[in-house]
C-alpha cells in the first residue's frame, strides 16, 4: 500500500478510499506501536529491562505510554498565533466528506495546505539553524585558533587548508598556515550574515544544478537570512501560498547542505584532521567495569576533542589511578561520537535511543553533553544512579544537570576540569552495575577524500573506478542511508533490515549519523560484511578491501555526500547532474528537524529521498503531492514516505534501475562478464 492511497480521490469512491486510508493508518500504527521488537539490539533490550526492574523511566517506556497526537502528526495543527491552536485534520469518520474537510480552516482562514507547508518550512528552518549555528561556532573557533587566541587547537590538515584557500582565491604565497586560515575563516564567516549575493560553496555544485537553482531563484543569499526569512514567512498572515513556502524551504535547506553544514565539515577537517579509516567498536559493551567511564554526547566536536587530549594526559591517568580506577575510558554517543570515532578511533557507546541506557548500566561516571539530540530525560535517569550529567554549552542547559561551561580560550584546562569531575565520581559508583557484554567491531572514517583515494589509488585519486563499477554494473547504484532513531519504530530494525536488503542487491551504502551506528552494531561496517553483499558489490569490496557500508561521519557530514555525488558527476559517464546519478537518500528512522532540512537539501540538489517512520504533511494531499511528485519536475529530486524497510529497499532499487535505464547503462548488469569489451566500447564514445 502506498501513500498515494491516503486520500480519497473522488466523492464516488470516498468510502472505499476511506477504508484504505484507515487501514494504512492502522498499518503504520501497527508497524510503529505493535512493533514486534522495541529494539533489535540485545544490549538495548537488556538495559530497557534493567531500567524497568529499577523503576527508571526511559524513552521506550514513555513511547509505550503516550501516543503521538494524530492531528499534529499529519501536520494539521497551527499554533502560530493566539487565536489558535487551530486544527484542520483529515476526516476521521465516514460521515465527513473530503469536501467538507477542505472547508475546514483556521480562524484566520488558513487552509490545511498552508498549515502543513508552514509547519514543514519551520522544520527546515530549525534544522538549518542547528547546523548553521554549529558551523558558526566552528568558524569562530577556527579563526581564533589561527590567530593564536586559544590553546590546544591547531591546523591539522594543511593540504586541505591550502586546497580550500586555492578554491576560495585566498593568497597562499609564502604566508603561514595561520595567516591563510584567518582569511579562509573570515571569508566563510561572511556566509552566515550575508545579505545579498550567493553562498560561497554553491559554486561547488555541478554547473547544470547551479543554473537550475539560479533560474528557480532558490540560491541562498546568507545562512541566517534564509532562516530568519523562513520564520517571517511562516508568521501569522504572511506567506500563505504553499508552493511559495516550499520554494523558500528549498532555498533554506540549500543554506544548510551547501552552507552551514558544509562550512562546519570543511573547517573541522582542517582543524581536527580529515577522517581516514579507523578501526573501533560500538555498543554499550565498550564501557569498562574498572575504569572511569565518560560518555561524551552531542554534536560539536571541540569539547570532545579536548577530552580526548585530556584523557591521555599522564597527570589525568595518575589522578584516576589515585581514585582506584585502572584508567579513563572515553566513549561517544550520537554525532559527537561519530566525530571522535572518525578522527581518534574512540569507541561508540550507542546511538540516539541508547543515551539513557548508557546511564542505566550504572557504570557511567559522567555524561558530558554539548548541543542537539540530548534528551531531557537524561537528568532524571542520572538522578537514579551516580552519574553526573554535565552540560558544557550555554545553548543547552538542563535542569538538574551540572553546568561546566566549556571555555575554548582555556580549552585544555576546561577539558581537564570536566574529566576531574568524572574521576572524582568514580568512588560513588554503586553495586548496581551491569554492562551488557555486547560490542561489535567497525571501520569508520570514509571521508570523500578517503573514498577518492581508496578507490582511485594514490596517484590517480578519483571517482573514476566507482563510476566504472557503476557503469559496468558491479555496483548497481549508491544509497545514502542516514539519520536518527525514532522510538515510534523498532530501534535499529528499520535501518539494518533496509541496508542488508540494499547491499544484497549490489547497492553500495554510504552512512552517517545514528543510522551508521545501527548498522555498525550488526557487523555491516567491516570488510567481512562483503559476504552479505550481492556478487557484484562483493567483488568490488574484496578487490578494494572496503566494507559494503561506508561510514562517512556525523549528520553534519551529509555535506560530504553532496561533494561525493558532485565528484561522481564531474568524473563523467553518469550524466551531467546529481539528479542523473543512480543514487537515493533514505532516513528510515528519522525524528529530528535536522533530518527534514537534510532531506530537503538532498531533494533540492536532485536526489530522490525516502523517509520512514512518519510523515509530517499527510494532512494535506496537495502539499504532499507537491513534495512527492511535482518537486521532481522542478528539482529533479523528490520526497517519498514508506515505513516498511523492505518496501523502501524496493523503491530505492526501482529508482536506481530507472536512472540506469535513462543513462543507457541498464544492459550493463546482464553484460557484466563482458565488461572489458564494454569498457572499450564506452571508450569510443
- For ligand SF4, the closer CB: 78 or 499: 78
Question: C-alpha grid cell for residue 113?
Answer: 495546505
Q: Is 377 in the site for ligand NFS (CB under 6 A)?
A: no
Contact 65, 221 (CB under 8 A): no
| 235, 144 Cβ separation under 8 angstroms | no
- Rounded Cα gap, residues 63 and 555, in angstroms: 24
Pick the stretch among 92-100, 275-283, 462-470, 592-600 that binds ligand NFS (CB under 6 A): 592-600
How far from 12 is each of 18, 97, 131, CA to CA, in Å? Answer: 11, 11, 47
Q: How far is the CB of 333 from ligand NFS (least distance, A)?
A: 8
Q: What is d(CA 379, CA 388) in angstroms, rounded to the nearest whole number?
A: 9
Report what 79 binds from ligand NFS, ligand SF4, none; CB cut-off 5-8 Å by kind.
ligand SF4
Q: What residues does 443 pair with on adjacent strands?
A: 279
Shortest distance, position 235 Cβ to ligand SF4, whole Å: 8
Residue 89 DSSP SS3: coil
Residue 366 sits at φ, ψ, to 5 deg, of -150, 135
Give residues in contact with ligand SF4 (CB under 6 A): 78-81, 83-86, 106-108, 110, 236
Which positions from 61 through 90 interact with ligand NFS, judged by CB under 6 A? none
Instruction: Supply the minimum distance, in Å, between the C-beta of residue 85 and ligand SF4.
Output: 6
CA torsion angle 83 85 86 89 (round to 10) = 180
Alpha carbon distance 181, 188 (integer Å): 11
Burial of 506 (0-12, 13-18, 19+ CB in 10 A): buried
**Does the protein bind ligand NFS through residue 352 (CB under 6 A)?**
yes
How far apart CA 65 and CA 459 sit, in angstroms, is 58
374 belongs to the binding site for ligand NFS (CB under 6 A): no
Q: Which is nearer to ligand SF4, 68 or 84 (CB)?
A: 84
227 is a contact residue toward ligand NFS (CB under 6 A): no
Comparing CB distances to ligand SF4, the nearer of 84 and 527 is 84
Residue 69 interface partner, choices ligand NFS, ligand SF4, none, CB cut-off 5-8 Å depending on type = none
Rounded CA gap, 75 and 624, in Å?
A: 11
- Binding span for ligand NFS by CB under 6 A among 89-97, 424-432, 495-503, 587-595: 587-595
Cell numbers linked to 50: 534493567
**Is residue 134 at the binding interface for ligand NFS, with CB under 6 A as the rule?**
no
Residue 236 interacts, among ligand NFS, ligand SF4, none and using kind-specific CB cut-offs from 5 to 8 Å, with: ligand SF4
Give the count of beta carbons closer than 10 Å to the beta carbon of residue 158. 12
- Residue 237 or 457 having the CB closest to ligand SF4: 237
Chosen residue from 59, 247, 295, 334 binding ligand NFS by CB under 6 A: 334
Closer residue to ligand SF4, CB minimum distance, 222 or 619: 619
* The binder of ligand NFS chosen from 44, 592, 609, 614 (CB under 6 A): 592
Of the candidate residues 513, 575, 599, 643, the single one contacting ligand NFS (CB under 6 A):
513
Q: The cell 562478464 sits on which residue?
A: 673
Q: Is 630 exposed, middle or buried (0-12, 13-18, 19+ CB in 10 A)?
A: middle
Q: Does 489 bind ligand NFS (CB under 6 A)?
A: no
Q: Which does 592 bind (CB under 5 to 8 A by kind): ligand NFS, ligand SF4, none?
A: ligand NFS
Decide: is 499 part of the binding site for ligand NFS (CB under 6 A): no
In terms of CB distance, is 299 or 386 closer to ligand NFS? 299
Pick the stretch among 70-78, 422-430, 590-598, 667-675 that binds ligand NFS (CB under 6 A).
590-598
Q: In whole angstroms, how close is the CB of 485 to ligand NFS at the nearest point?
A: 6
152: left (phi over 0), alpha (psi -120 to 50) or beta: left
Which string of b and e fits 297-331 if b means at least 16 CB within 10 Å? bbbbbbbbbbbbbbbeeeebbebbeeeebeebbbb
| Count helices and strands in the chain by DSSP H and E runs | 29, 16
Residue 44 or 111 having the CB closest to ligand NFS: 44
User: For residues 114 and 605, which CB has a smaller minimum distance to ligand SF4 in the complex?
Assistant: 114
DSSP string, 236-293: TTS---HHHHHHHHHHHHHHIIIIIHHHHHHHHHHHH-----EEEEESGGGS-TTSEE
d(CA 67, CA 496): 25
Minimal distance, residue 555 CB to ligand NFS, in Å? 3
Query: For ligand NFS, which is the closer residue by CB, 592 or 605?
Result: 592
Asked if 514 touches ligand NFS (CB under 6 A), the answer is yes
Task: Based on the shown chain and the rule CB under 6 A, indicate whether residue 373 belongs to the binding site for ligand NFS.
Answer: yes
Measured from the CB atom, is 5 or 108 closer to ligand SF4? 108
DSSP assignment of 539-561 equals HHHHHHT--SEEEEESGGGHHHH
List 484, 518, 529, 631, residue binding ligand NFS (CB under 6 A): 484
Backbone angles phi, psi at 329, to 5 degrees: -110, 100
Q: Which is closer to ligand NFS, CB of 246 or CB of 595? A: 595
Q: Which of ligand SF4, ligand NFS, none does 81 bind, CB closer than 5 to 8 A by kind?
A: ligand SF4
Choose the one of ligand SF4, ligand NFS, none that binds residue 465, judging by a C-beta under 5 to 8 angstroms depending on kind.
Answer: none
Print the binding letters for residues 282-301 with ligand NFS: x by CB under 6 A, - otherwise: -----------------x--
CB 586, CB 610: distance < 8 Å: yes
Q: Which is nearer to ligand SF4, 233 or 495 (CB)?
A: 233
If binding means CB under 6 A, how many residues of this protein chain bind ligand NFS?
A: 14
- Region from 149-157, 191-199, 591-599, 601-609 binding ligand NFS, contact rule CB under 6 A: 591-599
List residues binding ligand NFS (CB under 6 A).
299, 334-335, 352, 373, 483-484, 513-514, 554-555, 592, 594-595
Amino acid at each position: 500500500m502506498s501513500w498515494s492511497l491516503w486520500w480519497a480521490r473522488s466523492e464516488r469512491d470516498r468510502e472505499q478510499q476511506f477504508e484504505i486510508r484507515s487501514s494504512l493508518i492502522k498499518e503504520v500504527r501497527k508497524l510503529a506501536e505493535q512493533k514486534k521488537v522495541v529494539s533489535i539490539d540485545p544490549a538495548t533490550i537488556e538495559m530497557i529491562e534493567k531500567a524497568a526492574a529499577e523503576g527508571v523511566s526511559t524513552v521506550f517506556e514513555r513511547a509505550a505510554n503516550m501516543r503521538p497526537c494524530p492531528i499534529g502528526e499529519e501536520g494539521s495543527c497551527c499554533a502560530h498565533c493566539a487565536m489558535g491552536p487551530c486544527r484542520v485534520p483529515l476526516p476521521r469518520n465516514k460521515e465527513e466528506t473530503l469536501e467538507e474537510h477542505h472547508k475546514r480552516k483556521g480562524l484566520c482562514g488558513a487552509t490545511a495546505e498552508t498549515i502543513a507547508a508552514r509547519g514543514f518550512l519551520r522544520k527546515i528552518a530549525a534544522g538549518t539553524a542547528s547546523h548553521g549555528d554549529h558551523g558558526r561556532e566552528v568558524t569562530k573557533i577556527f579563526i581564533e585558533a589561527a590567530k593564536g587566541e586559544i590553546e590546544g587547537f591547531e591546523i591539522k590538515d594543511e593540504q586541505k587548508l591550502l586546497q580550500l584557500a586555492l578554491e576560495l582565491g585566498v593568497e597562499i604565497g609564502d604566508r603561514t598556515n595561520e595567516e591563510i586560515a584567518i582569511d579562509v575563516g573570515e571569508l566563510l564567516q561572511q556566509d552566515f550574515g550575508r545579505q545579498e549575493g550567493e553562498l560561497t560553496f554553491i559554486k561547488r555544485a555541478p554547473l547544470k544544478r547551479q543554473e537550475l537553482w539560479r533560474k528557480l531563484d532558490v540560491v541562498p543569499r546568507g545562512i541566517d537570512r534564509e532562516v530568519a526569512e523562513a520564520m517571517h514567512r511562516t508568521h501569522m498572515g504572511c506567506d500563505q501560498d504553499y508552493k511559495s513556502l516550499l520554494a523558500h524551504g528549498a532555498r533554506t535547506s540549500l543554506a544548510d547542505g551547501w552552507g552551514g553544514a558544509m562550512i562546519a565539515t570543511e573547517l573541522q577537517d582542517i582543524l581536527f584532521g580529515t577522517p581516514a579509516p579507523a578501526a573501533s567498536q560500538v555498543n554499550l559493551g565498550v564501557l569498562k567495569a574498572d575504569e572511569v567511564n565518560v560518555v561524551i554526547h552531542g554534536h560539536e566536536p571541540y569539547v570532545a576533542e579536548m577530552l580526548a587530549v585530556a584523557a591521555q594526559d599522564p597527570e589525568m591517568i595518575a589522578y584516576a589511578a589515585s581514585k582506584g580506577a585502572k584508567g579513563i575510558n572515553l566513549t561517544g554517543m550520537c554525532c559527537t561520537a561519530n566525530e571522535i570515532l572518525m578522527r581518534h578511533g574512540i569507541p561508540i557507546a550507542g546511538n540516539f535511543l541508547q543515551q539513557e541506557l548508557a546511564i542505566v548500566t550504572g557504570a557511567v561516571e559522567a555524561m558530558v553533553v554539548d548541543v542537539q539530540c540530548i534528551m531531557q530525560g537524561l537528568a532524571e535517569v542520572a538522578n537514579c544512579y551516580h552519574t553526573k550529567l554535565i552540560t558544557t554549552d550555554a545553548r543547552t542547559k538542563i535542569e538538574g544537570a551540572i553546568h561546566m561551561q566549556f571555555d575554548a580560550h582555556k580549552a585544555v584546562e576546561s577539558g581537564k576540569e570536566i574529566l576531574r569531575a568524572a574521576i572524582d565520581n568514580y568512588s560513588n559508583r554503586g553495586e548496581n552495575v551491569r554492562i551488557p557484554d555486547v560490542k561489535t567491531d567497525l571501520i569508520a572514517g570514509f571521508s570523500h577524500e578517503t573514498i577518492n583515494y581508496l578507490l582511485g589509488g594514490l596517484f590517480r585519486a578519483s571517482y573514476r573506478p566507482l563510476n566504472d563499477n557503476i557503469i559496468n554494473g558491479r555496483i548497481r547504484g549508491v544509497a545514502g542511508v542516514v539519520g536518527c532513531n525514532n522510538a515510534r519504530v523498532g530501534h535499529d530494525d528499520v535501518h539494518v533490515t533496509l541496508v542488508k536488503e540494499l547491499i544484497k542487491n549490489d547497492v553500495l551504502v554510504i552512512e552517517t549519523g545514528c543510522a551508521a551506528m545501527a548498522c555498525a552494531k550488526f557487523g555491516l561496517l567491516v570488510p567481512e560484511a562483503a559476504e552479505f553483499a550481492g556478487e557484484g558489490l562483493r567483488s568490488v569490496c574484496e578487490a578494494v578491501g572496503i566494507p559494503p557500508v561506508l561510514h562517512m561521519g556525523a549528520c553534519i557530514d551529509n555535506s560530504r555526500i553532496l561533494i561525493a555525488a558532485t565528484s561522481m558527476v564531474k568524473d563523467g559517464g553518469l550524466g551531467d547532474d546529481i539528479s542523473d546519478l543512480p543514487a537515493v537518500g533514505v532516513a528510515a528512522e528519522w525524528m529530528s528537524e535536522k533530518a527534514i532540512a537534510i532531506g530537503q537539501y538532498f531533494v533540492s540538489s536532485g536526489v530522490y529521498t525516502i523517509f520512514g517512520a512518519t510523515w509530517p504533511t499527510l494532512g494535506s494531499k496537495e502539499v504532499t503531492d507537491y513534495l512527492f511528485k511535482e518537486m521532481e519536475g522542478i528539482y529533479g529530486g523528490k520526497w517519498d514516505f514508506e515505513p516498511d524497510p523492505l518496501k523502501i529497499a524496493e523503491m530505492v532499487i526501482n529508482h536506481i534501475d530507472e536512472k540506469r535505464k535513462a543513462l543507457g547503462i541498464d544492459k550493463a548488469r546482464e553484460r557484466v562478464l563482458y565488461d572489458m569489451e564494454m569498457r572499450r566500447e564506452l571508450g569510443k564514445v
